[in-house]
């Protein structure tokens, strides 16, 4: 079976070129142009590797996806970018990519980066010990399903009824077990995850506060600002000033 | 005073970083076009001319960008005059042939992002190569409406332009990718093809 690679790039010429190169070299690939499309394809396309443009939508959305992949998945990813300044390099290092392709690139650059990343992934999987197995079994299956549902739908309003439905448990049992296994209530967990994502977007993208509020499922700028102040102690714009370059 | 100098220096560094980034992206586009040409077996009427035209498109763009911002200490955007660029680039295309007629309505107040203008120039290079492969005369008309630039083009030897995509089926991919990159729409009429590009 061919190795599946997801290309996350909004420049149609570059993405088509990469896809042609991958096809010629025996890979199966698909193209995404946005954050949402990428997250959706993690489940539907199930890529083994991701090529990720840093400056997606001209808002550094690629770094945001990188942060998401680093914290939520084991899929290795390689950044593609024209940026080679030290500040950008420092920012992307925190998201732990397995490679970095600087534009303009050659076919051999893409293929060698991919081959190396896949080799390293295979080696690390071979070395997985009992510790990881234990890590996997940290949550019961119904709670895992609920957590996955939250991850996938973090950009929308998430209703507890939906979480109860995916868990397959009764309301009372679900809320009690969730708090026991995760250490906080579903509401608190969703709130913390949204605020984590908001912080990452404020730090790593040029999206306006209003856009971020909308992306996280908030219906107004003020309700998002209030929530953010409650969580971080400062307003979103002050947070951005403090942490952004 | 010291703070102001530091601010200027930081601003200048940011502009240099962004310019370098843009230039590398522009070079990547040039490379991508050549690689897609090989991958899709795109046969140009004159490969050498197409590559030269793309390089001139890039050169004119940076010339104009530099001249536009020469008076400003720290330029705040990457917009340049659509009319100035189109006039310069179309004159360049016309310098090697008398078979191009163009009409440009007054767009002197319109400015377009440099990256979009470059893709627009590459679209014109493709349209001109179609013309050369037909050994034909071509008419180009530029106009604008709200946020969209309209380009109407037609070839003397084509009786029905509704069949344009079929006629150039094997050469169409790069042209189509360029149009899609600008989120453009096609409108095929009997007498002409119109592209509507939301880049204004």
pLDDT at A152: 75
Residue A125's pLDDT band, with cuts at 50, 70 and 90, is: confident
Q: Locate the domains of chain A by residue range.
A: 4-127, 136-243
Q: Is B16 within 8 Å of chain A by CB?
A: no
Q: DSSP state, A48? A: S
Give the mean pLDDT of chain B.
90
Chain A residue set in contact with B, beta carbons under 8 Å? 11-14, 16-17, 20-21, 24, 55, 82-85, 102-105, 107
Q: Tell me the per-residue pLDDT of B68-91, one tens digit each, with 9 for 90 and over.
A: 777 666 667 788 999 999 999 999
Query: For residue B104, is pLDDT > 80?
Result: yes
Please confirm whether the linkage preceding A136 is cis (ω < 30° from 0): no
**Strand bridging mode B148-155 / B100-104:** unpaired
Q: Tell me the per-residue pLDDT of A27-41, one tens digit each, with 9 for 90 and over.
A: 999 999 988 899 889
pLDDT at B106: 86
Complete domains list, chain B, with CATH: 2-197 (3.30.565.10)
Contact (CB<8Å) B17/A107: no
**With contact defined as beta carbons under 8 Å apart, do A19 and A62 qualify?**
no
Q: How high is the ipTM of this complex?
A: 0.84
Q: Is B36 within 8 Å of chain A by CB?
A: yes
User: Least CB-CB distance to A17: which of B25, B35, B178?
Assistant: B35
Positions of E strands within chain A: 4-8, 28-32, 49-53, 77-81, 99-102
Task: State mean pLDDT over A82-91.
Answer: 78
Query: For residue B42, is pLDDT > 60?
Result: yes
Query: For residue A228, is pLDDT > 60?
Result: yes
Please give the CATH number for the structural domain made up of A136-243. Answer: 1.10.10.60
Q: Rounded to a whole number, what is the distance in Å from the CA of B130 to chain A's nearest CA?
A: 20
Query: For residue B67, is pLDDT > 90?
Result: no
Residue B34's pLDDT band, with cuts at 50, 70 and 90, is: very high
Task: State mean pLDDT over A79-94.
Answer: 81
Query: For residue A129, is pLDDT > 60?
Result: no
Q: Largest Cα–Cα distance of chain B, in whole Å?
A: 68
**With contact defined as beta carbons under 8 Å apart, do A19 and A29 qualify?**
yes
User: Least CB-CB distance to A104: which of B17, B31, B177?
Assistant: B31
Q: Could you tell me the CA-to-CA distances from A170 to A150, A162, B111 in Å, in that order?
A: 18, 12, 60
Q: Rounded to a whole number, what is the distance in Å from the CA of B42 to chain A's nearest CA?
A: 13
**With contact defined as beta carbons under 8 Å apart, do A185 and A179 qualify?**
yes
Contact (CB<8Å) B181/A17: no
**With contact defined as beta carbons under 8 Å apart, do B83 and B104 qualify?**
yes
Q: Tell me the per-residue pLDDT of B127-167, one tens digit each, with 9 for 90 and over.
A: 999 999 999 999 999 999 888 999 999 999 999 999 999 99
Q: Rounded to a whole number, what is the distance in Å from the CA of A8 to chain B's nearest CA?
A: 15
- Burial of residue B109 (CB within 10 Å: 0-12, 13-18, 19+) is exposed
User: Least CB-CB distance to A103: which of B25, B35, B178?
Assistant: B25
Spatial distance between the Cα atoms of B69 and B19, rounded to a whole number of angstroms = 13
Give the mean pLDDT of chain A.
86
Query: For residue A207, is pLDDT > 90?
Result: no
Q: Is B24 within 8 Å of chain A by CB?
A: yes
Q: Rounded to a whole number, what is the distance in Å from the CA of B116 to chain A's nearest CA?
A: 11
Q: Tell me the per-residue pLDDT of A148-190, one tens digit each, with 9 for 90 and over.
A: 888 877 877 888 888 988 888 888 899 999 999 999 999 999 9
Residues in B closer than 8 angstroms to A90, CB to CB, are none
Closest CA to B125 of B184, B48, B192: B48
CA torsion sign, A35 to A39 to A44 to A48?
positive
Spatial distance between the Cα atoms of B69 and A171, rounded to a whole number of angstroms = 63
Contact (CB<8Å) B33/A83: no
Query: For residue B52, is pLDDT > 90?
Result: yes
**With contact defined as beta carbons under 8 Å apart, do A186 and A175 qualify?**
yes
Task: State mean pLDDT over B171-198.
Answer: 96
Identical fold between A4-127 and A136-243: no
Residues in A closer than 8 angstroms to B23, CB to CB, are 82
Query: For residue B40, is pLDDT > 90?
Result: yes
Substitution target from B12, B16, B24 for chain A, most A beta carbons within 10 A: B24
Contact (CB<8Å) B28/A21: no
- Burial of residue A30 (CB within 10 Å: 0-12, 13-18, 19+) is middle
pLDDT at A151: 81
Residues in B closer than 8 angstroms to A13, CB to CB, are 29, 32-33, 36, 177-178, 181
**With contact defined as beta carbons under 8 Å apart, do B113 and B75 qualify?**
no
pLDDT at B71: 67
Contact (CB<8Å) B24/A12: no
User: Least CB-CB distance to B21: which of A11, A21, A82?
Assistant: A82
Query: For residue B59, is pLDDT > 70?
Result: yes
Count CB neighbours of A3 within 10 A: 16
Q: Is B32 within 8 Å of chain A by CB?
A: yes
User: Least CB-CB distance to B21: which of A12, A83, A105?
Assistant: A83
Cα A17-A18-A22 angle, rounded to 5 deg: 120
Count CB neighbours of A233 within 10 A: 9
Spatial distance between the Cα atoms of A61 and A40, rounded to a whole number of angstroms = 15
DSSP string, A106-120: -HHHHHHHHHHHHHH
Q: Which alpha helices (DSSP H) does B114-171 contain, by range?
A: 114-134, 164-167
Least confident of A26-40, A110-124, A224-238, B69-83: B69-83
Backbone dihedral region for residue B21 (phi beyond 0: left; psi -120 to 50: alpha; all else: beta): alpha
**Strand bridging mode B79-81 / B100-104:** unpaired
Spatial distance between the Cα atoms of B132 and A159, rounded to a whole number of angstroms = 61
Cα B155-B161-B163 angle, rounded to 5 deg: 130
Task: State mean pLDDT over A126-153.
Answer: 73
Task: State mean pLDDT over A87-107.
Answer: 85
pLDDT at B74: 64
Please confirm whether the linkage preceding A104 is cis (ω < 30° from 0): yes
| A–B interface: beta-carbon pairs under 8 A | 59
Spatial distance between the Cα atoms of A6 and A48, rounded to a whole number of angstroms = 8
CATH of range A4-127; options 2.60.120.380, 3.40.50.2300, 3.20.20.70, 2.40.50.1020: 3.40.50.2300
């Amino acid at each position: 079976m061919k190795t599946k690679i997801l290309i996350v790039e909004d420049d149609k010429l570059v993405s088509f070129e990469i896809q042609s190169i991958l096809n010629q070299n025996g890979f199966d690939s698909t193209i995404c142009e946005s954050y949402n499309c990428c997250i959706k394809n993690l489940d539907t396309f199930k890529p083994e590797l991701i090529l990720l443009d840093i400056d997606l939508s001209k808002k550094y959305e690629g770094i945001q996806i990188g942060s998401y992949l680093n914290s939520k998945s084991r899929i290795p990813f390689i950044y593609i970018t024209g940026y080679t300044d030290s500040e950008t390099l420092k920012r992307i290092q925190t998201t732990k990519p397995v490679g970095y392709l600087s534009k303009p690139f050659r076919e051999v650059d893409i293929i060698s980066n991919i081959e190396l990343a896949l080799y390293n992934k295979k080696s690390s999987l071979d070395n997985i010990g009992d510790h990881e197995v234990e890590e996997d079994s940290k949550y019961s299956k119904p709670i895992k399903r609920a957590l996955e549902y939250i991850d996938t739908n973090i950009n929308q309003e998430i209703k507890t009824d939906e979480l109860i439905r995916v868990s397959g448990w009764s309301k009372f049992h679900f809320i009690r077990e969730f708090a026991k296994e995760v250490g906080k209530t579903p509401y608190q967990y969703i709130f913390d995850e949204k605020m984590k994502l908001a912080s990452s977007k404020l730090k790593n993208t040029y999206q306006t506060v209003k856009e971020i509020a909308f992306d996280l499922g908030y219906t107004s700028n003020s309700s998002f600002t209030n929530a953010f102040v409650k969580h971080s102690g400062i307003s979103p714009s002050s947070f951005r000033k403090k942490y952004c370059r | 005073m010291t703070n102001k100098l530091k601010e200027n220096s930081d601003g200048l560094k940011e502009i240099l970083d962004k310019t370098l980034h843009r230039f590398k992206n522009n070079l990547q586009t040039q490379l991508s076009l050549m690689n897609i040409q090989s991958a899709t077996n795109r046969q140009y009427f004159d490969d050498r001319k197409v590559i030269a035209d793309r390089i001139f498109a890039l050169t004119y763009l940076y010339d104009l960008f530099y001249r536009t911002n020469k008076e400003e200490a720290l330029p705040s955007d990457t917009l340049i005059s659509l009319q100035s660029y189109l006039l310069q680039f179309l004159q360049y295309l016309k310098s090697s042939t008398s078979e191009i007629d163009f009409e440009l309505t007054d767009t002197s107040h319109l400015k377009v992002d440099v990256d979009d203008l470059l893709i627009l120039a590459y679209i014109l290079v493709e349209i001109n190569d179609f013309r050369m492969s037909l050994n034909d005369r071509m008419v180009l008309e530029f106009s604008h409406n709200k946020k969209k630039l309209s380009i109407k083009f037609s070839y003397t030897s084509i009786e029905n332009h509704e069949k344009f995509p079929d006629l150039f089926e094997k050469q169409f991919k790069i042209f189509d990718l360029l149009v899609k990159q600008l989120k453009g729409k096609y409108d095929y009429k009997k007498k002409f093809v119109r592209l509507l590009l939301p880049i204004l």
